[in-house]
Amino acid sequence: TKIRNLITGKIAAKTFQPSDTFKEAEIEKEELIFIYAHRDSFVFQQAKERITLPEDIIGEGAKYLKANLAVTAYKFNGKIINIKLPVKVDYLVKEAPPGFKGDTATGGTKLITLENGFQIQVPLFIETGDIVRVNTESGIYTERVKKG
């Protein structure tokens, strides 16, 4: 059986007997609002106070954070152990090179920069000022929400 350490996130293989019993971990959920990042620290607004979390808790989700994004924090024994982002998030396109008609040699996509600095491949019709929706689990463009 594979088990995961809630604090470190590491997975280990263990053998258990049918008579073994376990106490269920009590995981609490709490909504946090992302405010800003400073070096390897990320500042969030809790209900009544600001908290700073290190990059190792945020993980790969750091590249998808933007100001005022609501995330779910998972707490174990009063300590935040993980952050979950919404599956789809809307971003303003900060920089997009012009798409040229007939330019389909690259599969009809181009690299753009989003408001948070993250770069992503999108269809050629996306322009600066558009709002696009990105899947934070796969990092893939899903749709244009609003034309700029």
Query: In this structure, are 132 and 96 located in the same domain?
Result: yes
- pLDDT for the residue 148: 73
pTM of the model: 0.81
- pLDDT for the residue 106: 53
Q: What is the Cα Rg of the chain in Å?
A: 20
- Asked whether 29 and 99 are in contact (CB, 8 A), the reply is no
The DSSP H or E segment spanning 142 is: strand 140-146
Query: In this structure, are 92 and 134 located in the same domain?
Result: yes
- pLDDT for the residue 147: 86
Which CATH number fits the domain that encloses residue 132? 2.40.50.140
- Asked whether 124 and 111 are in contact (CB, 8 A), the reply is no
Give every CB contact of residue 97 below 8 A, 6+ residues apart in sequence: 110, 111, 112
Query: In this structure, are 76 and 11 located in the same domain?
Result: yes
- pLDDT for the residue 102: 60
Query: In this structure, are 75 and 92 located in the same domain?
Result: no
Helices (H), 20-114: 55-58
Count of domains forming the chain: 2
- pLDDT for the residue 65: 97
- pLDDT for the residue 103: 55
- pLDDT for the residue 134: 97
- pLDDT for the residue 101: 63
- Per-block average pLDDT, block size 10, for the chain (148 residues)? 79 90 89 94 94 92 95 93 95 90 67 96 93 96 91
The answer to whether position 20 is within a domain reads no
Single-letter amino acid code for the residue at 49: E
